[in-house]
Amino acid sequence: MQIVSVNIINHSDNPLPSYATDGSAGMDIRASLESTVTLQPLERSLVPTGLFIELPAGYEAQIRPRSGLAIKQGITCLNTPGTIDSDYRGEVKVILINLSDTVQEINTGDRIAQMVIAKTERAELFLVQQLNDTVRGTGGFGHTGVK
């Protein structure tokens, strides 16, 4: 396993993001709020974390939902995974939505998402007139059936 160094500023009272277990791919990140955020059913909100990160070139931070929050409270992240580019220096914020049928509250310190640090590649695009054929061809959504 490769360890990558990431500089971080923490303007919140929360601990730094951390991995819950040795096998965790993502670090839990927490809300940093002046007051409770109340999410009505189907309402979304941009939730601050108080975190600012400096990723090395060639890396991104992906912001993903926490599965427990999604199944227990119906709260998930929009724009998933959200990408934080290596040249972004603003505050890490998380777009949360309440997909449940009841009002949900987010409090400062609540674990609201997970952050995965991932290596990225740059692509060079080549304009062509035809693509190589495959067995799948143009078969798209659901082309292999339900079962």
C-alpha to C-alpha distance for 34 and 139, rounded to whole angstroms: 50
| CB distance 50 to 14 below 8 Å | yes
Question: Average pLDDT by consecutive 10-residue portion of the chain (147 residues)?
Answer: 93 96 95 98 98 98 96 95 97 98 98 97 96 85 72
pLDDT value at position 73?
96
- Residue spans per domain, the chain: 7-119
pLDDT value at position 62?
98
pLDDT value at position 6?
97
Burial, 101: exposed, middle or buried (Cβ in 10 Å; 0-12, 13-18, 19+)? exposed
Burial, 100: exposed, middle or buried (Cβ in 10 Å; 0-12, 13-18, 19+)? middle
Beta-bridged to residue 94, according to DSSP, are 47
How many CB atoms sit inside 10 A of residue 87's CB?
Answer: 8
Beta-bridged to residue 62, according to DSSP, are 83, 116
pLDDT value at position 25?
95
Supply the CATH classification number for the domain 7-119.
Answer: 2.70.40.10
C-alpha to C-alpha distance for 94 and 91, rounded to whole angstroms: 10
The whole model's pTM is what? Answer: 0.89
**Residue 88 main-chain phi, psi, to 5 deg:** -85, 135
C-alpha to C-alpha distance for 125 and 114, rounded to whole angstroms: 32
Tokens at residue 35, please?
């007051």
Q: What's CA 27's distance to the chain center, in Å?
A: 10
In the chain the first and final C-alpha atoms are separated, in Å, by: 36
